[in-house]
Amino acid sequence: MLAFVRHGQTAINAGGRLQGRLDAPLSELGIAQANALAAAFAREPVTRIVSSPLVRARDTAAAIAARHDLAVEIDERLIELDYGAWDGVALTDVTPEEWAAWRADPSFTPPGGESLVDVTARIASFTADVLADDLVVAVSHVSPIKAAVCCALAVDERATWRMQLGLASVTRVGARPDRSAYLLSYNETAHLPELA
């Protein structure tokens, strides 16, 4: 099973901006969220922890890994969507026309960035390589995790626009006997009630 974990809060996403490849650290709340994730996973038989290379994901992964005496493996395929020129831009500064184009076409690419189709391709590759019967925690970002859900459900990337994925949430993908993926759970946040 793959347990996809979205990293904790940063000042950038708390401020309503597209974070993308900007390498911001966890905020104070984000650190508390990472610790809550670590406590929740402490009771589970985690065998591997894989992370995006970005510090907010690595630090979230490190909190979980410490409870299991495991090293954090880095996999570039878990990195956030590249927003290109939109990295750090307030959501409200993306024009309605640009939002409409992005939502209508999964191959739409922000200026100098990456498309949802590209994210799906790398997450499909990651899932095919890593999905196992053992519990593997994969700490990533909103777009790759939504892409993993699209892969598991065999739906178009436009479905991502109809998903809300919380910070420090857990989404689980299982493996069928033929090694195909299926969705077990989405946006688990029961470990966070005192932090809401």
pLDDT tens, residue by residue, 76-127? 999 999 999 999 999 999 999 999 999 999 999 999 999 999 999 999 999 9
Using DSSP, state whether 162 is helix, strand or coil.
helix
80 is a catalytic site residue: yes
pLDDT of res. 195: 60
Given pLDDT bands bounded at 50, 70 and 90, which one contains residue 136?
Answer: very high
> What is the mean pLDDT of the segment spanning 126-138?
96
- Measured between alpha carbons, how far is 169 from 56 in angstroms, rounded to an integer? 14
> Using one digit for the tens of pLDDT, what is the confidence trace for 39-78?
999 999 999 999 999 999 999 999 999 999 999 999 999 9
Which residues is 172 bridged to in the sheet?
Answer: 3, 185
Q: Which two tokens stand for residue 52?
A: 């995006």
Stretch 160-168: mean pLDDT, rounded? 96
- DSSP class of residue 21 equals T
Q: Which member of 73, 80, 188, 191 is catalytic? A: 80
Q: Is 157 among the catalytic positions?
A: no
pLDDT over threshold 80, residue 34: yes
Count of CB atoms within 10 A of residue 9's CB? 23
**Structure-block tokens of residue 122:** 């790398």
List 7, 114, 141, 157, catalytic entry: 7
Residues 2-195: name the CATH superfamily.
Phosphoglycerate mutase-like (3.40.50.1240)
Q: Residues 14-23, buried b or exposed e (16+ Cβ, 10 A)?
A: eeebbbbbbe
Domain extents in the chain: 2-195
